[in-house]
A and B are shown apart, each in its own frame.
Chain A
């Protein structure tokens, strides 16, 4: 078991290749074409923010990246491996790729500590002791050590989302996919979650972030992609995208954001 795991981990760990490399990705749900040829590259220790209106395909792009959805055509390479290859083990893909959802999706029947230790114990085969020790370390780093034995429903939204992030981190992922992680939060709780994400970025975590928080994207991203109608209309450095977008569509989108008082 462990030897097999080791070789699998090595197989995914080829240096100097992009962490995520998507080319011409198409994805439809029934007759609705959500992604219509998306190209995207995320290199190691880079933070890429995907912005765009609701329904533009941001979530779908993230969900295709850890095989929660299968793409119709194009290729997505993760750590240098084509996810379309039939020998790809989707459980291994997800083990190395953390995903955080808009609605937290903590397991309501498990305590905070058990939420964080479930995957390390059941997937990595860690014993309860070491798994809990690591979980407590992570929880104390986000100031929630005293909540370890609480159930998720007793935490605030912001606390739940931070636990959800820590739950992903407990698997030591090489790539984090954050799907509008602050969109379900009350405004006063957004900051504590963004602070944690900022901290991850500072530590060099590779992240692909779908977000509506433009100020945050501008501050934390190495690159920003504007997604509209299932294609990436424009991408570049946050300074350029937010200050001097070259595309009409990007300008229109940002204008609406400014008018809504969100930038």
Chain B
């Protein structure tokens, strides 16, 4: 048996991953999608070969989720993995039983390759790492001359322990872990899309125009867009609804922060935290510039190193709590569900991820068209956004579990009103 050595391999769930198996359901799937379009049609047979080769390099993903007495864990999966043609479900539930036990799916369609992945395995950065490796191997197998240039993990390199580490456990600070209580956030209501489908709308703009626009407002792109997001929610959901304004919960934007940029970790698993912007929108004449100033201030406070460490340590401390530790998992599951309901989802109005610039080696650039990321939307966070940029394509992707599209509409009209060209892509969920 060639793979005998893998049989010993199993992984604890990392600190952030531990919550997801307990709280994921058909509607709250906790999956996300990363997607890259090539300039030519994808050949499924070659893609399958590339995936098979790369999964050996990424043992962290070649796993199944198993029940332990205290915690679930990831155990080596000896079953084969099969890619599949893309279907209409975006970030739908990943049912391991129907997927040979795997916690991710790889789709192909026309020129596009997409990975949908359960959040327990990795975060956006890790998933893009896997996707880049697969595309590299795919192009390599097709006979193109591509080089990894140290930016891509190829099948010839060897996995290192560092890539599997639970970085939260490595960098937390036991002294800086104060819990700061939070208020519940305003939730965007709407008509659910039947059958639990998720609508997806992307807007593609010029990266240069985006950078110029945010710089002319003395803000970073993330700050500018988060502020715009808040403003859009205000205009579409709150401004003209007195009954909401009177007794209103704060609008909160949850912006994940990639901690690999703040700590020297190379992990492929979850290693991100968040910064939140928060505002009580009780007035009827809030302006965009007012929100932008507030967002800039809150970003500055939230992104300080000690604040990031505090948020990370708070979670680690929760996990290290002795009572929680020794509680059998079937009881712990309920504790986690209740905790997540109170302290998790309902504290955010919307989650807005900036994955950032997607980089490929120069030799691969001519083959790549663009890159997309999308997160699931569920019952409470009915609209979510994700940003990727590839060369001069700046792509903002909204997913929604409701039929209404007024947030997306107002958001993109903000740019077209300023003369920035926007190109829309959609999965046309409303035509179903």
- A complexed with B: no
